[in-house]
């Protein structure tokens, strides 16, 4: 059964894979609360974040690994893959491939995502683009 939560999660994947930040109008509420230090609250801040993200990783694509919808919560596990060929969060292009994983939790109200939490493997992503040194061990990338 397809629920509004499934449809909203599908729009998120579509927005990411088509690099169209204006699709946030279809799934992000205007007063969206974002519990992420890199993204301010609100639909417009979300649009701005994705515009900058797509500039830094212009070939990025996302694959959904899992989706759980329960009540007013939608949980997705995603893998982003792209090449760091543009400025990303103030870090100049490295030309290196990037793989970033996320676990996103959204709260749905009135047919829109109204709140968001996420867990990201940012340390590994910053190591992949050369912004942080590799710490060695399993899964480390040079």
> pLDDT tens digits for 105-132?
999 999 999 999 999 998 899 999 988 8
Quick one: which of 63, 125, 54 has its CA closest to 96? 125
Q: What is the predicted pLDDT for the residue at 10? A: 98
Reported pTM = 0.90
**What is the arithmetic mean of pLDDT over 19-38?**
97
Write down the pLDDT at residue 142.
44
pLDDT, tens only, 93-111? 999 999 999 999 999 999 9
**pLDDT in the model for residue 137:** 59
Residue ranges in 19-80 assigned as alpha helix (H): 43-56
Mean pLDDT of 47-68: 97
Tell me the pLDDT band of 46, cut-offs 50, 70 and 90.
very high
Which of 43-47, 110-114, 133-137 shows the lowest per-residue confidence on average (mean pLDDT)? Answer: 133-137
Q: Is 103 helix (H, G, I), strand (E, B) or coil?
A: strand
Percentage of the chain beyond pLDDT 70 is 94
């Amino acid at each position: 059964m397809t629920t509004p939560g499934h449809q909203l999660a599908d729009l998120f994947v579509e927005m990411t894979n088509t690099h169209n930040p204006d699709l946030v109008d279809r799934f992000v509420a205007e007063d969206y609360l974002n519990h992420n230090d890199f993204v301010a609250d609100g639909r417009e801040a979300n649009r701005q974040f994705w515009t900058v993200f797509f500039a830094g990783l212009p070939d990025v694509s996302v694959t959904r690994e899992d989706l759980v919808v329960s009540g007013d919560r939608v949980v997705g596990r995603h893998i982003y893959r792209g090449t760091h060929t543009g400025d990303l969060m103030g870090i100049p292009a490295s030309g290196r491939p990037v793989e970033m994983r996320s676990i996103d939790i959204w709260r749905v109200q009135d047919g829109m995502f109204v709140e968001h939490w996420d867990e990201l493997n940012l340390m590994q992503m910053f190591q992949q683009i050369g912004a942080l040194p590799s710490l060695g061990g399993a899964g480390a990338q040079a």
